[in-house]
Amino acid sequence: MRLQDARRNGRAFFRLPRGLGLVGLILLVLALAGCSVRQVPGPSTVRNPQPSALQNPERNPQTERRSPTSSPGEKGDGSPLSPGAGRVVAARVTKIVDGDTIHVKVEGREEKVRLIGVNTPELANPERGQREEPYGREAKAYTEKELSGRQVYLEFDVQLRDKYGRLLAYVWLERPQKGTAEEAWANLFNARLLLNGYAQVMTVPPNVKYVDLFLTWQREAQKNRRGLWGP
């Protein structure tokens, strides 16, 4: 074969078909390249294995329901069982347990109340192996005489209940107006127990509002040998 013929044949091998042009050449190259390149999935095809809070309504903070943490009587909503130093509510005495413990009816519910700041002599309690202490009966009789069936006013201090679930209160015979020493001396039953020698001071923080007055009145009963301080 002559060189001229070979050159002519070579030109014929790479000659494009008529009408294909430059655009056709580009499309042909892209088609050939697509046969050898693998398709890699883009970010939109990757799935998140952990659903978000919006995808899972049970874990969405905006739709999740929380159980209330406050219990009845601890909401501070103005009910008679709400705590708060100085809060006063009316109640009716229904039963006397001993000199410093009573039952009252307050707005339709029955409550056991332990008087704050005082401790009267104990009565006999065989179930607890507790013997009767001197002047225990006299203290209960005095409380029965003064409080049975009577309307009283319960004043709460910082702590609302003791570990036994009893309400802790100062028991007023008349609704307190100013809470002065003179008013407490006249109408606060806790004070009367001390002044007449039926109780001793028993201070349990944080309920200490009248502790200084109570100590003064206990010394007065001791000085005058009243009640359990007598001979």
Q: Is 114 assigned a catalytic role?
A: yes
DSSP secondary-structure letter at 144? H
Determine the residue type at 97. Answer: V
Catalytic residue among 87, 111, 114, 155: 114
SS3 state of residue 160: coil
Catalytic residue among 122, 138, 183, 220: 122
**C-alpha closest to that of 227 among 137, 100, 106:** 137
Q: Is 18 assigned a catalytic role?
A: no
**C-alpha closest to that of 153 among 116, 108, 106, 199:** 106
Asked if residues 140 and 96 have their Cβ atoms less than 8 Å apart, the reply is yes
Q: Is 59 assigned a catalytic role?
A: no
Catalytic residue among 87, 155, 166, 192: 166
DSSP secondary-structure letter at 35? T
**Rounded Cα distance, 124 and 221, in Å:** 25
Q: Residues 160-180, buried b or exposed e (16+ Cβ, 10 A)? A: bbeeeebbbbbbbbeebeeee
**Rounded Cα distance, 174 and 100, in Å:** 18
Catalytic residue numbers read: 114, 122, 166
